[in-house]
Amino acid sequence: MLNPTVIKAHLGVYWRTQKILFLIFFTILIVNLSLQTFIVTIINASPQSFNIATLLPTLIGVLIGMLVAIPIIQVTSIPYLLTLGSRRKDILFSSTVNNALYTTGITAILSTLLGIYATTSNDLAAIYMGTFLTGWSSILPISLFNLFLFFLVTNIIFFIGATFQRWGLMWGLGSLLLILSFSVIFLKEFYHFYLWGESYLFAHLVIILISVFFVSLSTLTLSKIEVRSYRPRITFPSFIFFVGMLIILISSSYHGVDRLSSDTSTININDRFVSYDQGVRENSFYSAGNQNLHLSWRSHIKEGDLVITLKSPTHEIAYTASGSTNEMVTIPLTEGEWNYSVTVKNAFDGRYSFRGLIKK
């Protein structure tokens, strides 16, 4: 069993080396918040003008950077930790603990911002991985998913870093390409889940299994790692491995993009208006049959009527909704021409978004 003092010592090293990243992270957030406060004060606007949504892209950008930077810094600390009498398995254990702590913290911050965004938004509810951001309760499944996802990403990057550390540049790049190759094959599934969510439980199980797999690979890689850091020396076997992985990545990219485009098509219409007396927006699409339409309908209206109607080739109403609505449904499609229409009547201050994905 790992000595708690050792974990504390390792985490101490990680904190001392990583605190600069956290400093950058909080600086970016504080600068963004300060700028917004300054602008709100200058234009003498209400606190509602504070746009939390503008924080999200900044935060997500920083997050992605840190998801990569944190495990890489951990890997570069390995020689230092070995000089302090650390065992390789202790290093891996404490790194995994650090990854878990870090992803928990980041998930909490992201969820808090998403929650604030969801509760303060008076307009159309945003949709994220098949979940409408309508309040704090909607954040829960996303938070859990993000927690596992970030943990997976940090563990994969730690493994790639460990391969660089142990075997050098070409083997490291090769393993990076191999992992990217597997990822792009499943682009379609990633894209679909990102848009439409579906089974969170299944996704969690898959992520946990992949995480365990990569932690095990890191265990094997670290088991014989030495204090020497890698040198960017190219040997013939490592070059062949790199070229082989490059070919695999190109092939899998072709295959992954082909899968993405061949069996799916998307419909995307949206509009916003201050006042609208009367109008109908109609369109149609053709289904070859034996397909599913994943449909998300989001609408917000202050007064009047706003109705979405989807009709089958036999003119039966397959889906309809009116007023302010957030819905996500899956509709089996039969062969023929399908029609959808958005009808607006005596409406004020409205918005709607219709997004559909037709999948074989």
Partner 1 sequence: MKNAIEIYNLTKEYGNTIALENVTISCAHNKIYGLLGRNGAGKTTLMHLLAGQLLPTEGSIHIYGENVYENHEALAKICYIGPFSNINNYVKAYRVRDFFKTASLFYPNWDQDFADKLIRLFSLDIKKHYRNLSSGMLSMVSIVISLASRAPLTLLDEPYTGLDAAARQEFYDVLAEDYSNHPRTIIFSTHLIDEASKLFEDVILLHQGQILLQKSLETLEESSFVITGDEEILKSVLSNKNIIRIENMGRRAAYSLYDTLSEQEKPVLTQAGLEVRSLTLQQLFVYLTANKEGLRC
Q: Using CB under 8 A as the criterion, which residues of the chain lie in contact with partner 1 when the complex forms?
A: 3, 5-6, 8-9, 12-13, 16-17, 19-20, 76-80, 82-90, 224, 226-229
Nearer to partner 1, 83 or 122 (CB): 83
| In the complex, least distance from residue 165 CB atom to partner 1, rounded to whole angstroms | 10
144 Cβ neighbours under 8 A, 6+ residues apart: 200, 204
Q: Where are the alpha helices (DSSP H) in 197-287?
A: 200-222, 236-262
Q: Give the residue from 202, 352, 344, 224 showing the smallest Cα distance to 276.
A: 344
Rounded Cα distance, 325 and 334, in Å: 26
Which CB atom, from 18 or from 181, has the smaller least distance to partner 1?
18
Closest approach of partner 1 to the CB of residue 118, in Å? 37
228 or 345: CB nearest partner 1: 228
H helix count then E strand count, the chain: 9, 7
Nearer to partner 1, 16 or 360 (CB): 16
CA distance 175 to 211: 16
The token pair that represents 220 in the structure block: 């094997």
Establish how many alpha carbons lie within 13 A of residue 240's alpha carbon, considering only the half-sphere containing its beta carbon: 3
Looking at the Cβ atoms of 10 and 355, the one nearer to partner 1 is 10
Please give the Cα distance from 202 to 213 (Å, whole number). 17
E strand or H helix that includes residue 296 = strand 291-311
Q: In angstroms, give the least distance from the CB of 92 to partner 1.
A: 11
Residue nearer to partner 1 on the CB measure, 5 or 44: 5
Burial environment of residue 289 by CB neighbours within 10 A (0 to 12, 13 to 18, 19 or more): exposed
By beta-carbon proximity to partner 1, the closer residue of 78 and 301 is: 78
- Residue written as token pair 């602008």: 39
CB neighbour list of residue 360: distance below 8 Å, 6 or more residues apart: 263, 264, 290, 291
The CA-atom distances, in angstroms, between 165 and each of 57, 113, 177, 231, 243 are 32, 36, 16, 9, 20
The nearer residue to partner 1, 222 or 328, going by C-beta atoms, is 222
